[in-house]
Every structure is written in C-alpha cells, then in structure tokens.
Amino acid sequence: MTREARYPSLEGRVVFISGGATGIGATLVEAFARQGCHVAFVDIDEANATELVVRIADAGHPKPLFLLCDVTDIDALRNALSNTAAALGTVRVLVNNAADDQRHRVAETTPELWDHAFAVNVRHHFFAAQAVAPGMTAAGGGSIVNMGSISWMTKTTGMPAYTAAKAAVKGLTMCLAREFGPANIRVNSVVPGWVMTERQLRMWVTPEGESTIDSAQCLKARLQASDIAAMVLFLGADDSRLCTAQDFVVDAGWA
C-alpha cells in the first residue's frame, strides 16, 4: 500500500487479529503496526508468523505479539486474548479474520466437515467478541470487525458449509452491534470479493477464474489484501465512530 492513510486515533491502540500469519491477516497485522498500534495475532502457522514478526520489527514498527492458537479451540482463544490484555493492555480493536475457504461438494459434505466449517469461520467470532467486550466497555468503547465473504451474496457453489458460515457472520454482526451499542462498541463486517492472496493464486485463480473476475467485477483491477486492510483500518479508527451494524463490501462491484 503506497499511499496509506494515517489515523492518529490508532496510535498506541491494542489490536487483536485472528489468522494473522499469512494472506489478508498478515497484511492486516502489518497495516496496524504501521499505524503505531500494539498488535497481537494468533495463527496455527508458526513459521510464517515468526517471519512476519521479524519483518515488521526490522522495519522499525512496534513488534507484534504472536500467540500460537487454533481458533476452533475456544479455551485456547480465550487464553490468547487474556494473555494479550496482560501483555499489551485492553484490546480496543478486534479483527475476527481467521477462516478456511476449502472447496467441498454438496455430496461429499459430512457432519464433521460442516461443524468444522462453522467452528473456523464463525464460531470464534462470537467467543472472541464475548471475551473482549468487558474490557472495551470499561475503556469506553471499541471496534469489532468480522470478516465476511461475498460468496453467499453471489450464490457461489462448491463450498456450501463455508458459504453458510459466512452468511451467519452477517447475522452475528447485526446482533452484536445492537447488544454492544450502549457500551460504545461498534460491530461491523468487512466483506471481501476475490482477493489475490498467494493461496488463491496458487490453488484457484485459473484462466477460467480470471475470466469470471473480468465479467463479474464492475472495476477490472485485481483486489489485493491491502484493499481490505484499508477498510479495516478505517473501521478500527475513531473516524468511523458512528459506523456500526454494517457490511462494508470491498469487491470491485461484484456482488
């Protein structure tokens, strides 16, 4: 991101990001660190997470705190959030980013796959929000950003459990925004289109996929993780102080 906005209200703020080792999550960790935030993040990819921490610190930004954690293990996630508060202070920005968009056919979807898809794509959003809400309330407010997906909006096939879980993110966002509003806690979702992460490029962006992007998007540029981070930064900052219960769609006009 060559011309990134600066948000003075983010300076020194404690930010917690799930799934921060690679892809959109890693870009989010870097973006908040460049704002002068104290960033903590969890992931199961220790190697890439360690490399990311070193890269950010070497660039002269506040060194992020990495905690090894599988977000489907709610006790481990709660411990990671508790350890973050103890080490850095009250979490004022929570970004529920961790997800798994593995493709799966309807006929091959088992109850175990379905349950895992909900655990990794939406369940941890709720329990992370539940854990940070008391601290945010005591601090006078905060911002929770849930990562959605346009897949359910565009009737995407080939991953029904993922799509259903991401649709549930919208309902959870609406509910929590009303629940936490009196405490000045904002809850929004950022809804990406097809972002050209290394994983997407390696596994699914085929010539046919490129053609689909060109025909579906109003804007023909390729979405980058930095485009998503720009929206999340805005929602984390006080500039969005009266934005809540909203889907902020960043998809180049696809959905």
Q: Would you please indicate which residues are annotated as catalytic (active-site) residues?
A: 162
pLDDT of 2 above 60: no
Among positive and negative, which fits the CA dihedral 79, 138, 28, 195?
positive
Residue located via tokens 């709610």: 74
Evaluate whether residue 55 is within a structural domain: yes
Which CATH number belongs to the domain containing residue 154 in this structure?
3.40.50.720
pLDDT digits (tens, 9 = 90+) for 93-117: 999 999 999 899 999 999 999 999 9
Q: Is 96 part of a structural domain of the chain?
A: yes
Could you tell me what percent of the chain has a pLDDT over 70? 99
* Number of folded domains that form the chain: 1
Residue 78 lies in a domain: yes
Asked whether 144 and 186 are in contact (CB, 8 A), the reply is yes
Query: By three-state DSSP, how is residue 110 classified?
Result: coil
- At residue 1, the pLDDT reads 44
d(CA 68, CA 46): 7
Kindly state whether residue 211 falls inside one of the protein's structural domains.
no
Give the residue numbers spanning the domain of 43.
10-191+225-250
Asked if residue 145 belongs to a domain, the reply is yes
Domain presence at residue 20? yes
The secondary element (H helix, E strand) that includes residue 67 is: strand 65-68
pTM, full prediction: 0.96
Query: How far from each other are the two terminal CA atoms of the chain, in whole angstroms?
Result: 24
For the stretch 181-211, pLDDT in tens is 999 999 999 999 999 998 888 887 888 889 9
Q: Is residue 4 part of a domain?
A: no
Assess if residue 172 is contained within a domain: yes
